[in-house]
């Protein structure tokens, strides 16, 4: 007992924290029904979003208009960017803040990596900022980039040239380009440093391979390095009616804040969750029923990932862990799922021996290393917790704010939407209920085809008048009509049917 007579055991000391956590979870579980298209400043598609580390004061956005916008969440009414940066001459695909937020990195389709100085923001308040350094180590599009969790000088880029490059801005410690490069036999699509274990990072490629790697053996002298990963996560799919495995493209990856769970965005499939200690998936995030559990009405579109590059994120603003995962979709919505605890998912996951795997007449999908290996059926999260509306076209990015109760979404349109569970916000005024009506994908016409051709020839969104994205939306409507139907990945991405019994996907050269 303390001198005040109040018990000081952890059970009593932590009670306010537990109450706060429960209250926040209840609030978040109810959905983000309010929003505002308040983050303006772009003139075309927004491809990349990134919050600064820590409290997430800054949001960086970039896209097809070749500009980087920096929004300050300490404003009372967030609307337009506080700072802008120029330099890229091709579309911006990726953004990341350095460990202590003094630098911002930008990766482009033009193979270059741009580094900007954020320590002197007051000097660029009236004019766009220029890069302080440009790295030209790739020969093709930079698809993803990541910064070291606490060493401010280190960043990695993943490129379609099949290389991961480790960049070190400390001139005196730079090594040869060969020592700082990890070569692959196909296009890299993602790279993410583990946020808590700085020797670990994950990579993904367009052949569906997702690997856990050690920086100490991936880079450096030839005597100490190897291309072999520490682990290859199983992404190949098995279906009883098919005699081959399918290997969907892994188009992006992301860790949770503790670095214990990894989500992989699989083209023509669903976001799939893995745990650091197990190569087999533990959950698949679907949208096969409505958030209230009722069936999808006839004719209504639901979660799909057949067009464009999607980026998801784990989140749990103000919570002690990331209990949620969000991703964009081709049906003009963002989706958020509540992810159960890992032990529960592991307990509910099914393991099916090949002798018990149906041979035909069943469309069940499972994950397997090889044609003759054990099938793993992760928990199917068929019911999203809620959906994020407000867009008129494809949503590519869903990003949780690290501390405020906000989610930002972006995609084909030129604006970023700010979502909230309440109509009040410390950084935005006049939040309103988001309309639940979603724009229908119209049937194609000769006029639409002509507008499609005009959009291709004139540049996406740059010739639109007012605040609309009419030409860009028409362009992607046409793409959705021709490519939006989910393809059979067992036909388009099937592995060789003659695969040897003892050979598995992990035996490929990575």
The answer to whether residue 500 scores a pLDDT higher than 50 is no
Residue 446 to residue 451: CA distance in whole angstroms = 9
176, 240 in Cβ contact below 8 A?
A: no
Torsion angles phi and psi, residue 76, rounded to 5: -75, -30
Residue 102 to residue 446: CA distance in whole angstroms = 51
Q: Could you list the residue range(s) of the whole structural domain that residue 141 is in?
A: 31-436
- The domain total for the chain is 1
Residue 317 to residue 340: CA distance in whole angstroms = 17
Residue 310, in any domain of the structure? yes
10 Å Cβ neighbour count for 152? 16
The full DSSP string for 97-131 is E-TTSSEEEEEETTS-EEEEE-TTGGGGSSS-B--
Q: What are the residues facing 503 on neighbouring strands?
A: none
Flag whether the pTM goes above 0.85: yes
Taking only the tens place, the pLDDT of each residue in 76-109 is 889 889 999 999 999 999 999 999 999 999 999 9
Q: What is the CATH number of the domain that holds 379?
A: 2.130.10.10
The answer to whether residue 489 scores a pLDDT higher than 50 is yes
Taking only the tens place, the pLDDT of each residue in 462-474 is 444 444 577 888 8
Quote the mean pLDDT of the chain: 87
Three-state SS at 460: coil
Residue 406, in any domain of the structure? yes
The answer to whether residue 437 scores a pLDDT higher than 90 is yes
DSSP state of 184: -
Residue 15, in any domain of the structure? no
Residue 99, in any domain of the structure? yes
> 483 pLDDT band (50/70/90 cuts)?
confident
Q: What is the pLDDT of residue 503?
A: 42
> 488 pLDDT band (50/70/90 cuts)?
confident
Residue 21, in any domain of the structure? no
Taking only the tens place, the pLDDT of each residue in 272-323 is 999 999 999 999 999 999 999 999 999 899 999 999 999 999 999 888 899 9
Q: What is the pLDDT of residue 406?
A: 96
472, 464 in Cβ contact below 8 A?
A: yes
Residue 334 to residue 331: CA distance in whole angstroms = 9
Please name the residue that has the structure tokens 């006049």.
Answer: 430
Residue 479, in any domain of the structure? no
Q: What is the pLDDT of residue 171?
A: 59
Q: What is the pLDDT of residue 369?
A: 94
The answer to whether residue 3 scores a pLDDT higher than 50 is no
Taking only the tens place, the pLDDT of each residue in 24-72 is 899 999 999 999 876 888 999 999 999 999 999 999 999 999 999 999 9
Residue 408 to residue 395: CA distance in whole angstroms = 11
């Amino acid at each position: 007992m303390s001198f005040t007579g109040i018990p000081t055991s952890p059970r009593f000391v932590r009670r306010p924290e537990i109450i706060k956590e429960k209250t926040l979870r209840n609030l978040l579980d109810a959905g983000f029904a309010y929003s505002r298209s308040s983050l303006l400043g772009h003139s075309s598609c927004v491809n990349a979003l990134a919050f600064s580390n820590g409290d997430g004061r800054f949001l960086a956005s970039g896209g097809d208009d070749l500009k980087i916008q920096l929004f300050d969440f300490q404003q009372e009414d967030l609307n337009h960017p506080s700072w802008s940066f120029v330099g890229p001459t091709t579309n911006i695909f990726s953004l990341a803040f350095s460990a202590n937020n003094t630098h911002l990195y930008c990766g482009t389709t033009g193979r270059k990596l741009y580094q900007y100085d954020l320590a002197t923001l007051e000097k660029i308040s009236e004019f766009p900022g220029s890069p302080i350094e440009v790295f030209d180590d790739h020969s093709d599009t930079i698809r993803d980039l990541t910064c070291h969790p606490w060493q401010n000088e280190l960043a990695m880029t993943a490129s379609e040239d099949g290389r991961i490059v480790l960049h070190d801005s400390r001139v005196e410690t730079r090594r040869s380009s060969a020592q700082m490069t990890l070569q692959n036999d196909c296009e890299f699509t993602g790279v993410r440093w583990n946020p808590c274990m700085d020797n670990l990072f994950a990579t993904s490629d367009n052949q569906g391979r997702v690997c856990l790697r050690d920086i100490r053996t991936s880079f450096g002298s030839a005597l100490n390095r190897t291309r072999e990963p520490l682990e290859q996560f199983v992404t190949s799919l098995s279906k009883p009616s098919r005699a081959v495995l399918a290997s969907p493209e892994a188009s992006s990856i992301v860790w949770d804040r503790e670095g214990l769970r990894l989500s992989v965005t699989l083209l023509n499939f669903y976001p799939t969750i893995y745990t650091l200690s197990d190569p087999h998936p533990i959950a698949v995030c679907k949208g096969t029923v409505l958030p209230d559990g009722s069936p999808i009405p006839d004719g209504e579109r639901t979660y799909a990932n057949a067009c464009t590059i999607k980026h998801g994120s784990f989140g749990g603003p103000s919570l002690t862990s990331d209990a949620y995962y969000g991703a964009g979709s081709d049906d003009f919505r963002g989706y958020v799922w509540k992810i159960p605890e890992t032990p529960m998912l592991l307990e509910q996951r099914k393991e099916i021996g090949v002798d018990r795997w149906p041979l035909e007449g069943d469309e069940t999908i499972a994950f397997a290393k090889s044609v003759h290996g054990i099938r793993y059926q992760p928990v199917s999260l068929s019911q999203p917790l809620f959906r994020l509306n407000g867009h008129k076209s494809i949503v590519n990015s869903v990003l949780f704010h690290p501390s405020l109760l906000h989610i930002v979404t972006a995609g084909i349109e030129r604006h970023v939407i700010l979502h909230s569970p309440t109509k009040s916000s410390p950084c935005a005024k006049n939040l309103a209920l988001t309309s639940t009506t979603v724009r229908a994908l119209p049937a194609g016409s000769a006029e639409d085809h002509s507008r499609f051709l005009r959009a291709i020839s004139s540049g996406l969104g740059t010739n639109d008048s007012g605040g609309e994205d009419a030409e860009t939306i028409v362009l992607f409507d046409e793409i959705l009509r021709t490519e939006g139907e989910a393809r059979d990945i067992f036909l388009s991405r099937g592995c060789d049917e003659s695969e040897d019994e003892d050979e598995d996907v992990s035996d490929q050269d990575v």
